[in-house]
Amino acid sequence: MEAKFNESISNFSFEFLGDEGIYADTLSQTINNIVDILQILTIKKDPDAFFKLKITRFRQNSFDIDLMAIIKYIPNLINKENLEIAGSIIASLVGIFEIKKHLKGERPKEIKYDGDTAKVINKDGEILIKDSDTVNIFVQENKIENSIVNIFNVLKQDDLRESLRIYKDNEIAVTIEKEEYDNMSKKVIERKDAPANVFTNIVNAELLLKKPDLLGDSQWGFIYNKSIYATIKDEAWLKKVHQGLIRNLYAGVKIPVKLLIEIELDEFHNPIKDSDKYTVLEVTGDIIEPDNPPPQINMF
């Protein structure tokens, strides 16, 4: 059955101040790289959604283009968040340009996360506060910054462009002056395929069992402050499970374990979202059953 999609739409504009005309490579590079950025932002907001970018109008005086972001998503639940996904994505697009401008061609001095917001501190100690998701995407996604660098490398060669403005909701959201093009065309964050730091911790814990694998070697599902998946490295204990010697393994029991927690850190030593990994090094005791266990089917 073909999936039915709903649409979320948001309008925004790019204004190239200067001559009324524009070089074809300036326009095409800007559009193509904006498309690349929006694709990444859409996937981050909703992996099942996709977007189209529509040019709705060209305007003169300088050279202006009105654009429409059309985000198509599967409506699992109609709510304000997914109805406004396009506006949220354009807000992140603007936020990424604001962060890049704020950094003035240098890496951040510090980034401080506080719940849903983050403070980006530049080399001069100036603070820009943006939402944590936008800051995380800028820091972690190499292609985002590459796309901005590509745009301003072309603008640097275009002597007709005095500044670039981005409009959202018919208001100026960010302006980049010609004097800032050089800073905007510099890579400021060193991203590596592997993170420079991994925080590790070994704890004794009683894991609430959610989904066991009684026959194979795949990860088991547990509740540990949140829903997690963990690899079981206690081979002697797993062998007993596979042989049917440990039978009281069902959702709701607790397993006492020695648990290894690994969390990747970015170059500013902040935890990378969803990078946490869990490994059960050893099962340290007997299964703890609830006071009123559900009836079980003997599988062995």
CATH fold group of domain 197-283: OB fold (Dihydrolipoamide Acetyltransferase, E2P) (2.40.50)
Q: What is the pLDDT of residue 177?
A: 94
- Tell me the backbone φ, ψ of residue 116, rounded to 5 degrees: -85, -5
Q: What is the pLDDT of residue 178?
A: 93
Q: What is the pLDDT of residue 49?
A: 74
Question: pLDDT grade, residue 299 (50/70/90)?
Answer: very low
Question: pLDDT grade, residue 256 (50/70/90)?
Answer: very high
Over the stretch 18-72, which tens digit does the pLDDT of each residue have? 877 788 888 888 888 998 998 889 888 877 777 778 887 777 656 667 667 666 6
175: Cβ contacts below 8 Å, ≥ 6 apart:
163, 164, 165, 166
Please state whether the predicted TM-score (pTM) of the whole model is above 0.75. Answer: no
Q: What is the mean pLDDT of residues 157-165?
A: 86
Question: pLDDT grade, residue 300 (50/70/90)?
Answer: very low
Over the stretch 205-247, which tens digit does the pLDDT of each residue have? 999 999 999 888 889 999 999 999 999 999 999 999 999 899 8
Domain range list for the chain: 6-184, 197-283
- As a whole number of angstroms, the distance between CA 255 and CA 288 comes to 6
Report the mean per-residue pLDDT for the chain: 84
Q: What is the pLDDT of residue 84?
A: 74
Query: Using an 8 Å Cβ cutoff, are 102 and 114 in contact?
Result: no
CA 227-228-229 angle, 5° bins: 140
User: Is pLDDT above 50 for 130?
Assistant: yes
Q: What is the pLDDT of residue 236?
A: 92
Q: What is the mean pLDDT of residues 154-171?
A: 87
**C-alpha distances in angstroms, 173 versus 85, 94, 111?**
18, 7, 22
Q: What percent of the chain has pLDDT over 70?
A: 85
Q: Which two tokens stand for residue 160?
A: 């007709």
